[in-house]
Amino acid sequence: MNLVKPSFEILTIMAYDEFDDPTGPLRMIEEAGRTCYKSESDLTPDTAKKFVQKLNKLGHLSVIEHSAMTVKFIIDRGVSHELVRHRLCAFSQESTRYCNYKGGVTFIIPPWLSDEHDRIGSIDIDTPPDPAYVTWVMSMEDAERSYLNLLSNNWSPQQARSVLPNSTKTEIVVTANFREWQHIFKLRCSKAAHPQMREIMIPLHQECNRILPEIFDCIEY
């Protein structure tokens, strides 16, 4: 059994080149937007940022759909079930039907148990482990044991997966245009979102805001 924390990796941003010209997505959006007003003659190397900021301010968000981002998430299956509710995305997800975990199952540590897990992993433990943490770990061990026993009794992975819990690790690649990412962040970073969703989406939004603040600094939560 393997226990890991959730993570993400930005695989690509359309027209973005970190080492050459990071304003590529903004220039793409500006060029598309200026087509509406036939103001392409006003396009310069320095106008893209202000143009996109104005689009956000005015709510002309259809124009920012001309660029997109692809992110790979490592999360638990419960979180992935919520993520795939966003219909204006492309999803490619690790399949428990076809992936065989006979070498051991990986589970995602919930954020409310993360500190306890880190403490147990330290050299000195002054107090006994939290009983709730012990219960969760034992549940994961039982699930893995049941899954492996079913495989050994000639169940296929798609049959044996029925005993795996929401905490089972999954990898999912998500592609969406910038407008949809704005929508995702507004919903999934808010206080009303599930703690595990916020755990992964808030850091992702912070990274996106660092890379392209003209697109993502309008998100409040």
Query: For residue range 153-190, what is the model confidence (pLDDT) as tens digits?
Result: 999 999 999 999 999 999 999 999 999 999 999 999 99
Domain membership of residue 141 (yes or no) is yes
* Token pair recorded at residue 161: 């997966």
SS3 state at 201? helix
Both ends of the chain: CA-CA distance in Å?
A: 36
Domain membership of residue 62 (yes or no) is yes
CATH number for the domain harbouring residue 50: 3.30.1360.170
Give the CA distances from residue 191 to residues 23, 112, 162, 186, in Å, rounded to whole numbers and listed in that order. 31, 15, 32, 10
**How many domains would you assign to the chain?**
2
- Which residues face 162 on adjacent strands? none
Domain membership of residue 21 (yes or no) is yes
| Unique residue bearing structure tokens 């009794």 | 153
Question: Where does a domain end: 135, 152, 169?
Answer: 169
Q: What is the pLDDT of residue 125?
A: 61
Per residue in 116-146, pLDDT (tens digit) is: 999 887 655 677 889 999 999 999 999 999 9
Domain assignment of residue 128, given as a range: 77-85+100-169
Do 81 and 154 lie in one domain? The reply is yes
Rounded CA separation 161/152 (Å): 13
Do 151 and 209 lie in one domain? The reply is no
The structure's pTM equals: 0.94
